[in-house]
Every structure is written in C-alpha cells, then in structure tokens.
Amino acid sequence: MKFPALFGRIAFSTLAALIGAAFALPLLWFLFAPFNARAELGLAIPDPFTLSNFNTVFGNGFAMQALWNSLIQAVGGVILVGAAATLAAYALSRSSIPGKGAVTYILLLFSSVVSGSAAMVPIFLIISAAGLMDTHLAVILTFAGGLLPTAMFILRDFIDSIPKSYEESAMVAGASPVQAFFDVALPVIRPGIVVIVVWSFVNIWGSFLIPFILLRSSANMPAAVAIYSFYSEAGTPVVTLLAAYSLIYSLPVVALYLFVSWRFGFRFFGGIKA
C-alpha cells in the first residue's frame, strides 16, 4: 500500500504549491516593477536592474511628506492605544469594580457593530463638531477609539494569565498599588503590549477609509491616501513612482510581521483585524 500513499503525498504537495503560486501571481509584478526604470503595468524582468525609481520617490516632496504623515498618525495612535489599553486592561483584570463583566460585554458588542464603513457619517460629524477636520489628531483619535476595545481584550486576557502574586509580594514589601503597577506588573506585561502596539500600528498604517474621509489637504495625507491619488487623479498612473513607493510603504508592515512571527509565532498577529 505504499504507492497510493506516495501518490497522495505528491498530489497534495502539487496542489498546495499550485495554490501558493496562484496567491503569488498578483504580487509578482510588484516584485519586479520597482526596479525597472521603464516599468509599465505588464510583467517584465528589469533590464537593467536599477534603483532609480527609488531616487525619484526620495526626491518627491509630496510622497515623502505622506510617508512622514503616516508615521505621525500611526505612532500617535499607537501611543494612545498602548497607554490607554494597558491601564484599562489592568483595571479590568486587577480591580473589583462592579459591573466589569457587563462593561466588557457591551464594549465587545459595540466594537463589532460600529465599523468604520457603517459609522463614517457620525465620525465625520463628530470630528467636524470638535473642529478637528483635516488634522492628524482627527485620524489619531478616531483610530484610537476604534482599536481600543479589541486591544483591551487582548491585553486583559494576557494580564489575567499573569499570577497576582508578583504585585502582591511587592505590596507586602510596602509598595503602593500604583508602584506595584509601574515597577512590577508593567515589565511583565510588556510582551502583551508589544503585540497590541504592532497590531495597532499595522492597522493605522494600512487603513485608507478614515484618513480619506477626515483629511483634505495634501500636507496631512498619509501614504495610504497619497498613493491612491497618484493613479486615479492623474489619469494615467505614474507606474514607476507608484511601484517603488508601494514597496517602501509596505516595508514597515512586512518588517513588523517578520518581527512578531519570529518573536511570538504568527498566531498573535492574527487575532482580530479591525
């Protein structure tokens, strides 16, 4: 009975490889075009291989400004989400506030009901009423509010799994609860914080809809929106610029993914995507 087993293995491997190849196909162009000075929408091996497209991107003020804006918004959002989620998750795990369970349930419910595409009108109106239209802060706050519930749940589960005895012994030794949090708990929670920080960064960095609605001036546009304007408004896309720019813009996401999968295994990265 060895032959059918071997045959089955080959068939499985071939099928898996074929599906993998099918997934790779739409991205192939994207691997070659950035290094081709005459890149068009067709697939072509760069001849000669060149980095001139990247020089063009680095020389383009609007493109570089957009990357910088993405960084401001993602880092701003990450700091807010990281700090607020850590504090809140710690309180949900370690204090005995009445109604904790109900609050958790309601937050979970609201966070899955109020999606960006369903709530674009009220989000626009709130930002507009707050006088924050077309500012980095508008994007930062909106993302922080939207990502916080999920970040809190991931972190609360993480903190629940840490024995209370760490902080208890610190408090027996005379530390105040706040000291026990900052000096004892925080260092232990750090891996959990890293996970939600990476997760929020990738989410804000890659999102299109919220900045597309809330920002107007090119001085504030993040790369996600700037890229889109490169090819839809100019009529014909500036393919060489776009290809190289897309690659640069994707690098942080890929780097963070590799970091998380190396450090924690990729199941952490999955979790729940907003």
Partner 1 sequence: MTTEPITTEAKKVRNFSLLSNRAGAAFLTPAGLLVSVFVIVPFFWVIFVSFTNRTLLGRTALNPEFVGLANYLALFDPATFFQRGQFGFSLILTTQFVLASALIGQALLGLLLAWLIQTVPPWIKRLTETFVIAAWILPEVVIGFAWFAFLDRDAGTLNMMLNAIGLPSGDFLLDQPFWVIVVFNTWRGAAFSMMLFNSAFSSIPPSYFQAADVAGATSWQKFRDIAVPLIRGHIVTNLILITMWTFNTFTPFLLTNGGPSYRTELVSIYNYRVAFQDFQFGKGAAVGVIMMLINLAFALVYLSIGRKKKAPGT
Which positions from 169 through 228 interact with partner 1, judged by CB under 8 A? 171, 177-178, 180-181, 202, 205-209, 213, 223-225, 227-228
Question: Does the protein bind partner 1 through residue 29 (CB under 8 A)?
Answer: yes
Look up residue 220 and give its two tokens: 């504030």
Helix (H, G, I), strand (E, B) or coil at 255: helix
Look up residue 156 and give its two tokens: 């609360």
Question: Does the protein bind partner 1 through residue 268 (CB under 8 A)?
Answer: no
Question: Does the protein bind partner 1 through residue 266 (CB under 8 A)?
Answer: yes
Q: Which stretch in 48-56, 59-67, 119-127, 189-197 sits in contact with partner 1 by CB under 8 A?
A: 119-127
CB of 130: closest distance to partner 1 in angstroms? 9
Q: Which of 64, 67, 79, 253 binds partner 1 (CB under 8 A)?
A: 253
CA atoms within 13 A on the CB side of 107: 19
CA distance 77 to 145: 9
Q: What is the DSSP letter of 119?
A: S
The burial class, CB within 10 Å (0-12 / 13-18 / 19+), for 152 is: buried
Q: Which of 3, 20, 48, 163 binds partner 1 (CB under 8 A)?
A: 20
Question: Does the protein bind partner 1 through residue 120 (CB under 8 A)?
Answer: yes
Residues in the chain: 274
Residues of this chain, 89-108, that bind partner 1 according to CB under 8 A? 90-92, 94-98, 105, 107-108
